[in-house]
Amino acid sequence: MAEDLEKLRNDGDLLFQQVPMVEIDGMKLVQTRAILNYIANKYNLNGKDIKERALIDMYSEGVSDLNEMIMLFPLCPPDAKEAKMANIKERTRNRYFPAFEKVLKSHGQDYLVGNRLSRADIHLVELIYSVEEIDPSLLASFPLLKALKARISNLPTVKKFLQPGSQRKPPFDEKQLEKARKIFRF
Amino acid sequence: MATKPRLWYFRGRGRMESIRWLLAAAGVEFEEEFLETREQYEKLQKDGCLLFGQVPLVEIDGMMLTQTRAILSYLAAKYNLYGKDLKETVRINMYTDGTLDLMMMIALAAFKPPEEKEENLALIVMKAKTRYFPVFEKILKDHGEDFLVGNTFSWADIQLLETILMLEELNASVLSDFPMLKAFKTRISNIPTIKKFLQPGSQRKPPPDSSYVEVVRHILQF
């Protein structure tokens, strides 16, 4: 509700008046990237040194760029939707998926960076699921991405999260969009 | 002797300017290759230098790094400007994410149609004065220290100064209600490496003008 947001803002809980906000280890964290970095560092999902972290960051930023396009799509005005969707598919097919397929091919390892699980793998697999919800055929010519998706999905914690009843959220629909519009007044 | 970092970008601020600031503040010499033609850009792509087909590109320590934030985080860590522990790092990340958001709005404003530009810039100034500057004013006031995080010079301070100067270019009196930020601006500007960067002849770039916008549009074809 709009009042919930108002209260968070008035209580000084939102540094820049925006959500997400995560309360963790006595801190009220905002800014998605800052939060993700903190969690990844804390749980050893951010590489073993700053060079690995640079690659993880680079890959994660790319994932985030495409994810943002998909995330903002419901907000697109109806007459622009077709062009926007075509753009998302084109970017997926020609820019992002080929880049990650190439990374996996270049080292032949099970994970994107340093031969071990990092947040980059998790972010990418999350993105692959989102893309498949739009158009499953987009994954067709990317065998290594398919294999990564299967491998990460089978990790016990991820497997559990993918099951019904977990805290995973469904794609944003029109009803939720209306709710968000009311709360954030746009 | 280690080779200097090499930056590939257009001859202007855009998404590369914060990287130039960070390197300069850390006292690191760097080289620049300026993209002036479509052919140069296509060559970079063909040579596989651009992971997602985009600049900024920074060649450093044997890596071809793209994605502005990935580059900035690497440099901040490498030059000890990223806090002493995870809690300081997360605060630096929160502050720099905020200031980077604001600076990106300014960078993108240059590409808006002329009739929208003025309104856009007014909105940015308003956001600075109501959403961002009060936050940093309060942080400095609450701890009374010289720097934003951990009483130590960090990436967050460099970025905030860069943001302040950029906003002042849009509105000279933007700091009028923020005494702590005014003092902060003076203090950080006087750090020797930054003082040097602020002098004419440095690698700092001017605000975007119409010829810059034209070059970028031509090379990126939009």
Computed over every residue of chain A, the mean pLDDT equals 94
Dist CA A95 CA A9 (whole Å): 38
Mapped onto helix, strand or coil, the DSSP state of residue B150 is coil
Tell me which DSSP letter residue B9 carries. E
pTM comes to 0.95
Q: Tokens 């469904």 belong to which residue?
A: A170
Give yes or no for B155 touching A (CB within 8 A): no
- CB B63, CB B126: distance < 8 Å: no
Dist CA A58 CA B132 (whole Å): 26
Q: What is the pLDDT of residue A75?
A: 85
Tell me the average pLDDT across B157-177. 97
Phi, psi of B59 (to 5 degrees): -95, 115
Which residues of chain A have a CB within 8 Å of the CB of B101? Answer: 16
pLDDT exceeds cutoff 90 at A37: yes
User: Which of A13, A25, A61 would best serve as a mutation to test chain B binding (most B beta carbons within 10 A)?
Assistant: A61
Q: What is the pLDDT of residue A74?
A: 87
The structure tokens listed for A42 are 């804390």
> Which residue among B51, B90, B97 places its CB closest to the CB of A62?
B51
Phi, psi of B208 (to 5 degrees): -65, 135
Q: What is the pLDDT of residue A137?
A: 96
Q: Do B90 and A37 touch (CB under 8 A)?
A: yes
Computed over every residue of chain B, the mean pLDDT equals 96
Vertex A10 angle, CA B142 and A19, to 5°: 95
Q: What is the pLDDT of residue A11?
A: 83
C-beta atoms surrounding A59 within 10 Å:
25
Which residues of chain B have a CB within 8 Å of the CB of A65? Answer: 52
Mapped onto helix, strand or coil, the DSSP state of residue A36 is helix
Which of A99, A73, A98 is closest to A88 using CA atoms?
A: A73
Tell me the average pLDDT across B111-135. 93
Give yes or no for A144 touching B (CB within 8 A): no
User: What Å distances lie between residue B2 and B5, B6, B60, B62, CA to CA?
Assistant: 9, 12, 10, 10
Query: Is residue B1 very low, low, confident or very high in pLDDT (cuts 50, 70, 90)?
Result: low
- CB B150, CB B9: distance < 8 Å: no
Tell me which DSSP letter residue B38 carries. H
Give yes or no for A43 touching B (CB within 8 A): no
Query: Is residue B104 very low, low, confident or very high in pLDDT (cuts 50, 70, 90)?
Result: very high
Segment A105-141, tens digit of pLDDT? 999 999 999 999 999 999 999 999 999 999 999 999 9
Helix extents (H) in chain B: 17-25, 38-46, 68-78, 86-109, 114-127, 133-143, 155-170, 179-189, 192-197, 210-220
Higher-confidence residue of A148 and A177: namely A148
Q: What is the pLDDT of residue A5?
A: 86
Segment B60-98, tens digit of pLDDT? 999 999 999 999 999 999 999 999 999 999 999 999 999
> Which residue among B61, B71, B131 places its CB closest to the CB of A51?
B61
